[in-house]
Amino acid sequence: MQLVWLHGPPAAGKLTVAKALQSKHNFKLFHNHLAVDLSMAIYDAFGDKDFHHFTNSIRRQTLSKANELGVERMVMTFMTCAQEDRKEIRRYLDFFESEGIEVYPVQILPRHDVLFSRSVSPERQQSHKISCHKHLSDLLSEWKFLPIEHKNALQIDNSERSPDDVAQQIMSHLARR
């Protein structure tokens, strides 16, 4: 299975690009909030107790099952920061290798002004996604959103690019590998 792992800060456009890969290029879509929302149904708060461990186990089980079922292409979105999350990223990369999943980490990283304008979209307001300028500003100043180091990695500044254009760049990257 080929897995495009879209990662980056909140409001980067990860889900929008993932939807373009799904609709234009036949990818199965597994976005971050499918696992987060499922976990939120049983935990009192985000990050409570073993929330992250449980949420990551949902992701891994889902990816393992997709691979077992013969899914050829999947895209997964994930708000990750390589600096703070390096141990978990390593666990994911080891998992992908053990499952025989061909992973393509793609960092989506628009300019900060673009992040702030996207963060107040109605879609974000109606979800568990970060949609407050102060919260986003604090997160951007605290965390360095770094690319995941991997032989198949790609970085894209999508500040001025359409989701379809970004999806096409990802497809070109997959074809070159």
Report d(CA 101, CA 85) in Å as an integer. Answer: 20
For residue 141, pLDDT beyond 80: no
Q: Residue 159 burial by CB count (10 A; 0-12/13-18/19+): exposed, middle or buried? A: middle
For residue 157, pLDDT beyond 80: yes
Q: Which residue has the tokens 């390593």?
A: 90
Q: What string of DSSP letters covers 16-30?
A: HHHHHHHHHH--EEE
Strand partners for 75? 4, 29
* 102 SS3 class: strand
Residue 13 is classified by DSSP as S
Report d(CA 160, CA 173) in Å as an integer. Answer: 19
For residue 82, pLDDT beyond 90: no
pLDDT of the residue at 11 = 83
pLDDT of the residue at 77 = 95
- Comparing 141 with 21, the larger pLDDT belongs to 21
Topology of domain 2-28+72-176 in CATH is: Rossmann fold (3.40.50)
* Residue ranges of domains in the chain: 2-28+72-176
| 13-46 per-position pLDDT tens digit | 999 999 999 999 999 999 988 999 899 999 999 8
Calculate the average pLDDT of the chain: 89
- Comparing 81 with 54, the larger pLDDT belongs to 54
Q: For 128-145, what is the mean pLDDT?
A: 66
Handedness of CA 128, 7, 161, 17 (dihedral sign): negative
Q: Which parts of 43-162 fold into alpha helices (H)? A: 51-68, 86-99, 112-118, 122-125, 133-142
At a CB cut-off of 8 Å and minimum separation 6, what does 99 contact? 63, 64, 67
- pTM of the entire predicted model: 0.88
